[in-house]
Amino acid sequence: MALYPEIIERLLEKFQKLPGIGPKSAERIVYYLTQSSDIDVISLGEAIISLKKEVKLCKKCFNFAEKDLCNICLDEKRENIICVVEEVKDLISIEKANFKGKYHILWGRLSMLENVKIENLKIPQLIERIKNEKVKEIIIATNPTPEGENTANYISEILKKLGVKHSRLAIGLPLGSELEFIDSHTLKKAIEGRKEL
């Protein structure tokens, strides 16, 4: 026997499909919506519909956009350095660190377990951009996971053949940490990536 009316049960089921939302969180959201004004609930619904109808991928970097190009690609003050990331959320993190270059989003990383192959990523489009734009440098900013490292190495090999200057984000010690609490793999990467003072 269902605890709630069918409409609420369906809504609970939909909310639980969202990342990070379990049964309790879904119930809180539904309860909040039942107590909200009609205007707020309708406005939320319209915003979700607009998201699906109006947001698309930038034709150049594959960031979210409302037009053919995203706001970052339209910004002519940006440097001709392209930072290659796995997902839009990675772009947001780097943007918050005050990066003033451009981006290229792969929409994933090479992964045998997840069945993500080279043809599933936006690597050919990156090569096309390099050929058509006067790029000073490519910064490979894939995540420091085995899959991210494999993806970075694959892109690096392509860039070497093209003779394009490229670098990898430094991987190392977080600020404020103590060496005794750092795992050996992170320490190894920090030693390998050390720079002269």
Cβ atoms of 16 and 26 within 8 Å: the answer is: yes
- CA–CA separation, 94 vs 185, rounded Å? 23
Cβ atoms of 139 and 167 within 8 Å: the answer is: yes
What pLDDT score was predicted for residue 122?
96
Centre a 10 Å sphere on the Cβ of residue 159 and count the other Cβ atoms it contains: 21
- CA–CA separation, 129 vs 36, rounded Å? 47
Q: What is the mean pLDDT of residues 135-139?
A: 95
What residue ranges of the chain are covered by domains with CATH 1.10.8.420?
6-54
Class of domain 74-192: alpha beta
190 confidence band (pLDDT: 50, 70, 90): confident
What residue ranges of the chain are covered by domains with CATH 3.40.1360.10?
74-192
Three-state secondary structure readout of 15-74:
HHCCCCCCHHHHHHHHHHHHHCCHHHHHHHHHHHHHHHHHCEECCCCCCEECCCCCHHHH
Architecture label for domain 6-54: Orthogonal Bundle (1.10)
Tokens read off for 18: 């969202």
pLDDT digits (tens, 9 = 90+) for 156-180: 999 999 999 999 988 777 777 777 7
pLDDT digits (tens, 9 = 90+) for 70-105: 999 999 999 999 999 999 999 999 999 999 999 999
Mean pLDDT score of the chain = 91
Predicted structure pTM score: 0.83
Q: What is the mean pLDDT of residues 34-63?
A: 96
132 confidence band (pLDDT: 50, 70, 90): very high
